[in-house]
Structure 1
Amino acid sequence: MSSFSETYTCAPSDVLPLREIPGGYGLPFFGPIKDRIDYYYNQGTDEFFRARIKKYKSTVYRVNGPPGPFNAKDPRVIVVLDAVSFPVLFDTSKVERETCSRAPSCPQLISQVDIGMHKELIPTFRSAAAQLFADLEAELSDKGQANFNTVSDKMSFDFLFRLFAGKSSYDTPAGAGGNANLDKWLFFQLAPLVTLGLKFLPNCVEDLLLHTFPLPYFVVKSGYEKVHDAFDEAAGKLLDEAEKQGLSRDEASHNLMFLTGFNSYGGTKVLFPALLKYVGTGGEDLHRRLAAEIRAVVKEEGGVTLAALEKMSLSKSVVWEALRMEPPVQFQYAKAKQDITITSHDASYLIKKGETICGYQPIATKDPKVFVNPEEFVPDRFMGHGEKLIKYVYWSNGRETDNPTANNKQCPAKEMVVLLSRMMLVEFFIRYDTFSVEAGKLLLGSSVTFKSVTKAVRLTKSV
């Protein structure tokens, strides 16, 4: 069966009926509280949005949504939850978009990082991955199972530190606890979006603690500064170049810290476990196909190179499908610059100037009018004819077919994220034939526990 909905066509906006946006915000004060309790406790994120799709018979509606950059004080949003309406969030001629970083100088630093890391990316990752799998095997041997998230986070922090700062984190004051310090810092920033699920803690108490007031920074200040100081010292050459581009050294170092700790490390915490979860539960046939493709291309190309990675069509499809199923960033926000008309599959809607638009990606990228079996992980969905569907993968705050620029605010590390995901598959299936996992959920992303791995009997000499 094709992964593409052959019957799907998008009707021109001028032939779709103009419909009043359904839904509402309820009574002042009480309406936002009711929606917040539904979102965090009564329904949970997916059901919160899906229940209202059914209620209003629309994938575009009004509701009091979770906090974002444009509605931190006013929770009223218009949500867009289908593949047709969602891209309005990317149209900078019509909307003011959420930026991928908090600092406007980030694009300048990104360009310097990109220049410096291009040649080092593959060898640095390969070295880090070798340590990851050594740690994974040791834990499997010792305990009979291994927590992938723990070893993956440790590897990701050291890899990113070496990539951006040019030396191992273990040779700096950040040491082995660097990722733990970043975990605490990330939690304090993302607390308004999570629920702890602790049975002994009443919902009203958790809501007051996490979702009402900002958590005090002093609790995580020392850990943040320890990692920041290590970056500031180790990344001297990169920061020198940033100063030449007009940034102050302090501004550049904090930008680098945010780029590494939030945009990069925060992303890999979700990215790698999700990828291994879907591949692990995909079964031995998928493992066999991936191993065969990866080993054949690596042998043909004489090693793991960018050219080799581009030839791995199944591996690329698997990565895009994992990003479709479980995007590292779930929410995207924008504010209308003017009165605009958007369309869904079935109708047109008028959004007034100044209104906030919220997109929840895990539903929009499972649009049943675009994807066949949208809730299923289909490894070869984006192969062959399915390549046409890549434009509906929105994980990077833009279409997968678009390129990041300083103006469109698409994730500047988009290409690196996809590349690292492909490399994770390559490094894994160079070493192993198959594996089994158990998966669960964490506050941020999926938990993955390895139950077994089967080492490859023969490895290509090229690796």
Structure 2
Amino acid sequence: MEGSGEGSRDVVLPSRPVPGSYGVPFISAVRDRLDFFYLQGEDKYFESRAERYGSTVVRLNVPPGPFIARDPRVVALLDAKSFPVLFDVTKVEKRNVFTGTFMPSTSLTGGYRVLSYLDPSEPNHAKVKQLLFSLLASRKDAVVPAFRSNFGKLFDTVEEQIVSNGKSDFTGLNDTASFEFIGEAYFGVRPSESSALGTGGPAKAAKWLLWQICPIATLGLPMIVEEPLLHTVPLPPFLVSSDYKALFKYFSAAASKALDTAESLGLPREEACHNLLFATVFNSYGGFKRLLPGILSRLARADKKLHEKLAREIRKAVADAGGKVTLAALEKMELTKSVVWETLRVDPPVKFQYGRAKADLQIESHDASYSIKKGEMLFGYQPCATRDTRVFGPTAGQFVGDRFVGEQGRKLLKYVFWSNGPETESPSVDTKQCAGKNLVVLVGRLLLVELFLRYDTFTADVGAKVVITGVTKAATSDPSKA
């Protein structure tokens, strides 16, 4: 293990006031927003302020700032030791803080505050989360075949496009394949086969997603265009109302069995449907849009020896299972799982976490203890926590595919926080940890399985998109002969 973060466990840390400054009201918040999005970028924005104040717990402004944000002022937690307080719902309130210092209009979710915006103390939190657990449990046997069917077609298309065009836009193909896979896996109905959506589902979903996250996102447009368009005032919900109605119509029909379960749990059918839509489209689809291209992006830049090791491990496990991709076979793929965890560590799909202090608190970093007042907004920038050199050593900022292989590697999993909780813990109705945590890791592994059952290696151009430029087919497509 390169680092453990355990050395200071019994050390009495000095007490310090939280350093940092919010600056001049309004003006500083706008200036900081420009640094965050354009002049420095996210990583440098937080790293520079931690360096300036000599602390990984620091006061600063976070976007979106004036007009949209309730209050841009936060106490930022930028190390692996202080960050986990954001998961402790006995210490922090999670009501309406999913997107942080602003909250999108509930007009985007049928007029309801959906699960992500509920605190566990609210009655509907446990009901909605139990609904998600029930859905995932009831459809567990559909995940592997649905994934292989949809992503098998994706890679067929990749090969055809490479032959005809010399390259294939994996990111674009993944948007469609992920949306189809989720609908089939969760509800047994592909969105493209529904009259409500047809082939337009991914575009409608992406547009609806943008309306909710645009104040804290960048599309890579020039600052002079993007600032007034996305970061100054909220985009009007009525501009996506028709898209949302089409999505809701699909879910109302496709998720009928899950909605029956919701009613047995005491949830009104309409409210449950809005929650299922949000969890499926925002959480699952939004996550897979980032995670799966992210895995290929990291692998494309990795040493090709990692490709060889993955192919060998995957093919042996599948061959040992009689040529079938089973859950038991997947559990034997230690390196494969490590690669997925490492991608989630280095590039977490959700970078920001928030929570409002329920009472006066003492928060510890590696070096000091800080007093936090009741009501203060705590903010965590996850990449700073999951790339903490005090835990992961000198390679903390690098992608190391086998980081979590072996007993020592697995000890580091408690510092992998992508799911709104440590990877070593399981979600429950009483916490805010992602209900689909295990599914996400499973899907990441299935992508690698599908890739390396077909190919020995691949090449890709990586940037805003992952464009596959070449594949080397495996000598045999029959895993039982691997």
In the alignment, which of 141, 160, 165 is matched to residue 187 of structure 2? 165
What letter is aligned with 1:407? D
Q: Per-residue deviation at 1:331? A: 0.3
Q: Per-residue deviation at 1:14? A: 5.9
- How far apart, in 1, do the equivalents of 2:199 and 2:150 lie? 14
Q: Per-residue deviation at 1:462? A: 4.4
In the alignment, which of 62, 74, 79 is matched to residue 76 of structure 2? 79
Indicate the residue corresponding to 1:149 in structure 2.
171
Q: Per-residue deviation at 1:50? A: 0.8
Indicate the residue corresponding to 1:452 in structure 2.
470
In the alignment, which of 373, 389, 397 is matched to residue 368 of structure 1? 389
What letter is aligned with 2:281? G
Contact 2:315 2:479 in 1 (8 A): no
Contact 1:64 1:76 in 2 (8 A): yes
Measured against aligned partners, the alpha-carbon deviations of 1:148-199 in whole angstroms (never above 9, x if no partner) come to 1111110000011112221222221211110011011111111001233334
Contact 1:144 1:451 in 2 (8 A): yes
**Are 2:432 and 1:400 equivalent residues in the alignment?**
no
Q: Per-residue deviation at 1:282? A: 1.1
Q: Per-residue deviation at 1:72? A: 3.2
Indicate the residue corresponding to 2:50 in structure 1.
53
Q: Percent identity?
A: 48
Contact 1:435 1:452 in 2 (8 A): yes
Partner secondary structure for residue 369 of structure 1? helix
Contact 1:112 1:242 in 2 (8 A): no
Contact 2:386 2:415 in 1 (8 A): yes
- How far apart, in 2, do the equivalents of 1:193 and 1:112 lie? 32
- How far apart, in 1, do the equivalents of 2:43 and 2:58 lie? 15
Larger displacement relative to structure 2 (205-214 or 243-252): 205-214
What letter is aligned with 1:121? V
Structure 1: runs of 5+ lacking an equivalent: 442-446
Larger displacement relative to structure 2 (189-198 or 149-158): 189-198
Indicate the residue corresponding to 2:375 in structure 1.
354
Measured against aligned partners, the alpha-carbon deviations of 1:116-162 in whole angstroms (never above 9, x if no partner) come to 21111111111111111112112212211011111111000001111
Indicate the residue corresponding to 1:247 in structure 2.
267
Indicate the residue corresponding to 2:101 in structure 1.
none
In the alignment, which of 4, 22, 25 is matched to residue 25 of structure 1? 22
Partner secondary structure for residue 370 of structure 1? helix
Aligned residue pairs total: 450
**Are 2:206 and 1:183 equivalent residues in the alignment?**
yes
**Are 2:409 and 1:386 equivalent residues in the alignment?**
yes
In the alignment, which of 86, 89, 99 is matched to residue 89 of structure 1? 86
What letter is aligned with 1:4? E
In the alignment, which of 301, 317, 340 is matched to residue 338 of structure 2? 317
Contact 2:136 2:186 in 1 (8 A): no
Contact 1:10 1:345 in 2 (8 A): no
Partner secondary structure for residue 370 of structure 2? strand
CA RMSD for the aligned pairs? 1.8
Contact 1:23 1:61 in 2 (8 A): yes
- How far apart, in 2, do the equivalents of 1:165 and 1:395 lie? 26
Question: What is the correspondence of 1:298-309 to structure 2 with a 5 Å cutoff?
Answer: 298-302=318-322, 303-309=324-330
What letter is aligned with 2:289? K
- How far apart, in 2, do the equivalents of 1:325 and 1:440 lie? 16
What letter is aligned with 2:272? A
Partner secondary structure for residue 141 of structure 2? coil
Q: Per-residue deviation at 1:357? A: 0.6
Q: Per-residue deviation at 1:87? A: 0.7
In the alignment, which of 260, 275, 284 is matched to residue 280 of structure 2? 260
Partner secondary structure for residue 58 of structure 2? strand
Larger displacement relative to structure 2 (103-112 or 382-391): 103-112
Contact 1:109 1:255 in 2 (8 A): no
Indicate the residue corresponding to 1:15 in structure 2.
12
Indicate the residue corresponding to 2:317 in structure 1.
297
Q: TM-score, normalised by structure 2?
A: 0.90
- How far apart, in 1, do the equivalents of 2:353 and 2:338 lie? 24
Partner secondary structure for residue 390 of structure 1? helix
**Are 2:116 and 1:101 equivalent residues in the alignment?**
yes
Contact 1:81 1:361 in 2 (8 A): yes
**Are 2:411 and 1:413 equivalent residues in the alignment?**
no
What letter is aligned with 2:330? L
**Are 2:32 and 1:35 equivalent residues in the alignment?**
yes
Partner secondary structure for residue 15 of structure 1? coil
- How far apart, in 2, do the equivalents of 1:168 and 1:39 lie? 39
Q: Per-residue deviation at 1:67? A: 4.6
What letter is aligned with 1:175? G
Q: Per-residue deviation at 1:238? A: 1.9
In the alignment, which of 241, 244, 247 is matched to residue 221 of structure 1? 241
Q: Per-residue deviation at 1:283? A: 2.8
Larger displacement relative to structure 2 (29-38 or 243-252): 29-38
Q: Per-residue deviation at 1:12? A: 3.6
Q: Per-residue deviation at 1:327? A: 0.5
Contact 1:272 1:421 in 2 (8 A): yes
Cα distance change, pair 250–315 in 1 and its aligned pair in 2 (3 A)? same
Indicate the residue corresponding to 1:444 in structure 2.
none
Q: TM-score, normalised by structure 1?
A: 0.93
Structure 2: runs of 5+ lacking an equivalent: 99-114, 119-124
In the alignment, which of 452, 457, 469 is matched to residue 429 of structure 1? 452
Partner secondary structure for residue 457 of structure 2? strand
- How far apart, in 2, do the equivalents of 1:386 and 1:196 lie? 36
Contact 2:133 2:435 in 1 (8 A): no
Cα distance change, pair 13–213 in 1 and its aligned pair in 2 (3 A)? farther
Contact 1:13 1:348 in 2 (8 A): no
What letter is aligned with 2:17? E
In the alignment, which of 105, 130, 134 is matched to residue 112 of structure 1? 134
What letter is aligned with 2:454? R
